[in-house]
Amino acid sequence: MDHLTKHVSAPCLNIYEANDANKHASNLSLWSQEYDQFSNGAFYGRINEVVLAQTSVFKEYTNQSLRQQCNINDGGIWLGFSADNNRCRINGLHTQENTIMCRTGQQDFELMTPPNFSVFGIVIDKSALIQAANMQKLALDEIIPSLELLPYYAAGTISTLRYFIEHLLSSQLLNITSRIQEDILISAVIELLMNKQPAMTTRVSYRKRRVTVETIIQYMTTSTYPTTISELCNIANVSRRTLQYSFESILGISPQRFIRLTRLNQIRRELSKPTQTKPIVDIALDYGFYHPGAFSQDYKLLFAESPSITRQLHMISP
């Protein structure tokens, strides 16, 4: 059964666990997000989080490949980087070794993460960053980049930050006052953002591919699901080859597989609603699965449980 456990080993250290990707997405503070599972098998996710007055620090582990649709709450600034140099995609851009992802509040963005992925995250209140910047005679515009990926850093720079966060989240630094912890984190973030090394450039071809993918995703969220590649090409006004290449380069999967996996995750969300009483076969039909047997096989392969089990686990007890 999906579960959430919370262990308090110190006043500000929390650990959350979940056996459902979307439930896991809701466990993280200061975020509005939705996760779709894209690799086969039972899901497990874990979040170690320390919430201070003006900052939140976390380490997130997920065992399955995910498409994460994310948005930080207004007023926050997020920096994220792999805990062990594994790579992912942010808005279709590949992360590299020792690069840092960055987004500000109310910016929708998308992460594609591989199986067994661990990421460190720092979320800082923008007003706290402004205050610290003013004390250093720095203009806010200088330290709030618009790039998804910040410039490359020396390995030692990221290693030092990893070391500090890992020890903070393992409670080894929790005897230090919160004020000191926040001062260290905010100072480190300002130093990272002020780095003047050349940033990654975004080519026109990337922007075109991204628009193609976003057009299909937007259509899927607002209209009836398309059923053929020809329909997808018509919606995005591109050739079959361009459609295929856009999805493979931005999301790392074919458009056909993306549509199928997204549908299955949407069905899982429907089945997880305690008040949903519509027959499973009808829900599957709503999302384009016309063969009940094939649908059940696809569903069980992806989530390691049958649709009926998902429904049973989320039913309201009489």
Domain positions in the chain: 5-193, 204-314
pLDDT at 16 over 50: yes
Assign domain 204-314 to its CATH architecture.
Orthogonal Bundle (1.10)
Closest to 24 (Cα-Cα) out of 55, 57, 58, 61: 61
CATH number for the domain whose boundaries are 5-193: 2.60.120.10
Give me the pLDDT at residue 9, please.
36
Judge whether 64 and 115 are in contact, CB under 8 Å. yes
Average of per-residue pLDDT values in the chain? 85
Closest to 76 (Cα-Cα) out of 135, 44, 29, 115: 29
Give me the pLDDT at residue 307, please.
96
Helices and strands in the chain, H and E counts? 12, 12
Q: Please report which confidence band the pLDDT of residue 199 belongs to, taking 50, 70 and 90 as the band edges.
A: very low
pLDDT at 45 over 60: yes
Judge whether 121 and 168 are in contact, CB under 8 Å. no
| Tens digit of each residue's pLDDT (9 = 90 or more) over 68-120 | 999 998 888 899 999 988 999 999 999 988 889 999 888 899 999 999 999 99
**Share in percent of the chain as helix, strand, coil (round to 5):** 40, 20, 35
| Tens digit of each residue's pLDDT (9 = 90 or more) over 106-128 | 889 999 999 999 999 999 988 88
Q: What does the DSSP 8-state code read for residue 237?
A: T
Give me the pLDDT at residue 203, please.
67
Across the range 17-35, mean pLDDT stands at 92
CB neighbours of 305 closer than 8 A, spacing ≥ 6?
A: 42
| Tens digit of each residue's pLDDT (9 = 90 or more) over 210-246 | 999 999 998 888 876 666 788 888 899 999 889 999 9
Question: Which DSSP helix (H) or strand (E) runs through 7?
Answer: strand 5-10
Across the range 143-168, mean pLDDT stands at 79
Across the range 179-192, mean pLDDT stands at 81
Tell me how far apart the alpha carbons of residues 112 and 169 are, in angstroms, rounded to a whole number.
24
